[in-house]
Amino acid sequence: MGLNARVETLPGHEIGVEEQQRFRVDDLLPSRVMRPADAQDAARGLRLCDQAAAAVVTWGGGTQMGLGPAPRRYEVAFSTDRMSRLLEYEPADLTCRVESGMRLRDLQEALLAQGQRLPLEPPHPERATVGGMLAANANGLGRARYGTVRDWVIGIAVVYPSGKLARAGGKVVKNVAGYDLMKLHIGALGTLGVIAEVNFKVQTRPQVEATLIAHFETPAPAIDSGTTLARQYLAPAAAVLLDNGALRECGLTGDWRWTLAIKLEGYAREVEAARDEATGIIREAGGRVEDGDVPSVFWDAARDWSAPDDGLVVVRAIVPLTAIRAIFSVLPGDSHVLAQPAAGLIDVRVAAGSAASVLQQLRSAAVDQGQVIVAAAPAAVKKGLDVWGMPPPGFPIMRALKQALDPNGILNPGRFVGGI
């Protein structure tokens, strides 16, 4: 039986033209869609895909589908959209368990009703799902203060091509029993299994929130202010550095060349003290602190900026704090940049034509201290780019892990580092 014939025997349904476009990945269209109802259903479905040797791309909200090269093959769109329930939530334990297809915004709303939150804000929370956030390791602007996805996931249930539904971690906030497979699946882009359920720890919402905006003529003192803030006990909840172009794209107007926006969160007294401290650090570096309010859309726009919907190219550099200046020194004059200086993360929107050369220059500047990847790009542009860069030193182990968990290579083939 040929592949097409085998795919036709799978559950789910053949896909119409419209739906095919919805589940498009770069230039590739699936021939079938499977929408499991729950974890057990997903396990059965994935096993059938494996038996049919059908290549599977797992779909959450689709907000990070630009990440990684195009898949080598793609037959089945495996959508978690029916797996969207909040399974358990005990506010007094500060923990919850959710299905992976739950939208981030829905989860945050449920938590908010109890005065709590998950301090993770990936781009487009109205569409992004919990599972997608894990798979893409999509973090928001709070990583310097609150850590990343890996710091908030306490348990996971994953469906493997073998049809096994296997768990790791648990429902309690402190737990060292067994291997920490949460870490393995976070950022694995669905290449090792399909995340079916996730257990989180959550936190009480901060008492107070405040924003501080400062302007600089050149990026260097702004970077220094950002990294100095990261080393303070009262570190900000978020600090972003934008050039004028990115500032406008985030809904703020003004002729400022460089803007450092700082979000402060915590108990009222803490925020008050942090504001004074930050103001002092910025002024000492030669920045000008603005008075007045910032429109609330600004932080949402800054959060979404690195995952654009409109086919823009975003290059991302991740470096130690002391290497941020070196990255800025090689940025082309016409690029738009949004950096998180406290986290060592620099996102750059570049013109399609210069993407390859910018990528090359940033990689030279980051040398062995960091990584530079293509975070988003249209399919045609991506084809000519080395999206992930050189595989890391532990790559042979990564390949062996892939072989151990997905021996037939049906999960998102070719989209991860080193062709995994």
Partner 1 sequence: MDGADRERLLGRLRDVVGDRYAFADPYEMRLYQYDASPETALPDIVVIPGSAAEVAQVVKICADAKVPITARSAASSLAGGTVPVKRGVVITFARMDRILEIDGDNLRAVVEPGVVNLALSQALKPLGYYYVPDPSSQGACTIGGNVGTNAGGPHTLLYGVTVNHVTGLELALPSGELVQVGGRKAASASGYDLTGLFVGSEGTMGIATKIWVKIQPLPPVQKTLMAVYPDVETASNAVSAIVRSGILPAAIEMMDKLSIQAIEAASHAGYPLDAGAVLLLEVDGIPALVDELGERMAKVCRESGASEVRVAKDEAERQALWKGRKGAFSAMGRLSPDFYVMDGVVPRTRLPETLAKIDAISVRTGFKICNVFHAGDGNLHPLVLFDAFKPGQYEAVLRIGDEILRLCADAGGSVTGEHGIGLEKRENIRYIFSDDDLEVMDRIRRVFDPHGLMNPGKVFPGDGLESAPSRAPEHAPRRASAVAGDGDVWV
Instruction: Please report, as residue ranges, which positions from 92 to 111 form the binding site for partner 1 (by CB under 8 A).
Output: 92-95
If binding is defined by CB under 8 A, does position 128 make contact with partner 1?
Answer: no
Q: Which is nearer to partner 1, 230 or 355 (CB)?
A: 230
If binding is defined by CB under 8 A, does position 145 make contact with partner 1?
Answer: no
Q: Which of 91, 245, 251, 308 binds partner 1 (CB under 8 A)?
A: 91
Phi first, then psi, for residue 99 (nearest 5°) are -75, 150
What's the rounded Cα separation, in Å, for the pair 399 and 35? Answer: 28
Interface segment toward partner 1; rule CB under 8 A; list 4-12, 73-81, 88-96, 295-303: 88-96
Q: Which is nearer to partner 1, 33 or 398 (CB)?
A: 398
Q: Could you say which DSSP state residue 392 is in?
A: P
CB of 14: closest distance to partner 1 in angstroms? Answer: 32
Phi first, then psi, for residue 270 (nearest 5°) are -65, -45
Stated as kind and residue range, the H or E segment containing 401 is helix 395-405
CB of 194: closest distance to partner 1 in angstroms? Answer: 13
E strand intervals along 160-306: 165-169, 194-201, 203-204, 208-216, 238-243, 258-266, 288-290
Q: Which of 388, 406, 411, 412 binds partner 1 (CB under 8 A)?
A: 388
In the chain, the largest separation of any two C-alpha atoms, in whole Å, equals 72
Task: Give the bridge partners for 1, in sequence order.
Answer: none
Residues 150 and 123: beta-carbon distance below 8 Å: no
If binding is defined by CB under 8 A, does position 377 make contact with partner 1?
Answer: no
Q: Which is nearer to partner 1, 56 or 188 (CB)?
A: 188
Interface segment toward partner 1; rule CB under 8 A; list 4-12, 102-110, 150-158, 211-219: 150-158
If binding is defined by CB under 8 A, does position 371 make contact with partner 1?
Answer: yes
What's the rounded Cα separation, in Å, for the pair 158 and 294? Answer: 41
Q: Which is nearer to partner 1, 185 or 215 (CB)?
A: 185
If binding is defined by CB under 8 A, does position 321 make contact with partner 1?
Answer: yes
CB of 403: closest distance to partner 1 in angstroms? Answer: 8
CB of 366: closest distance to partner 1 in angstroms? Answer: 10
What's the rounded Cα separation, in Å, for the pair 245 and 335? Answer: 8
Q: Which of 20, 84, 108, 203 binds partner 1 (CB under 8 A)?
A: 203
User: Could you tell me whether strands 13-14 and 32-34 are parallel, antiparallel, or unpaired per DSSP bridges?
Assistant: antiparallel
If binding is defined by CB under 8 A, does position 151 make contact with partner 1?
Answer: yes
If binding is defined by CB under 8 A, does position 386 make contact with partner 1?
Answer: no
Write the interaction track for partner 1 spanning residues 153-192; mark x where CB under 8 A is met and - where it is not: -----x-x---xxxxx-xxxxxxxxxxxxxxx-xxx---x
User: Three-class SS of residue 78?
Assistant: strand
If binding is defined by CB under 8 A, does position 231 make contact with partner 1?
Answer: yes
User: Could you tell me whether strands 56-59 and 76-79 are parallel, antiparallel, or unpaired per DSSP bridges?
Assistant: parallel
Residues 311 and 127: beta-carbon distance below 8 Å: no
Write the interaction track for partner 1 spanning residues 251-270; mark x where CB under 8 A is met and - where it is not: ----------------x-xx
Q: Could you say which DSSP state residue 255 is in?
A: -
The residues, ordered by sequence, that sit 6+ positions from 309 with a Cβ below 8 Å of its Cβ are none
Write the interaction track for partner 1 spanning residues 290-319; mark x where CB under 8 A is met and - where it is not: --------------------------x-xx
If binding is defined by CB under 8 A, does position 378 make contact with partner 1?
Answer: no
The residues, ordered by sequence, that sit 6+ positions from 221 with a Cβ below 8 Å of its Cβ are 285, 286, 287
Q: Which of 6, 85, 127, 150 binds partner 1 (CB under 8 A)?
A: 150
Write the interaction track for partner 1 spanning residues 65-84; mark x where CB under 8 A is met and - where it is not: --------------------
Q: Cite the DSSP H helix spans in 215-296.
A: 219-230, 244-249, 268-284
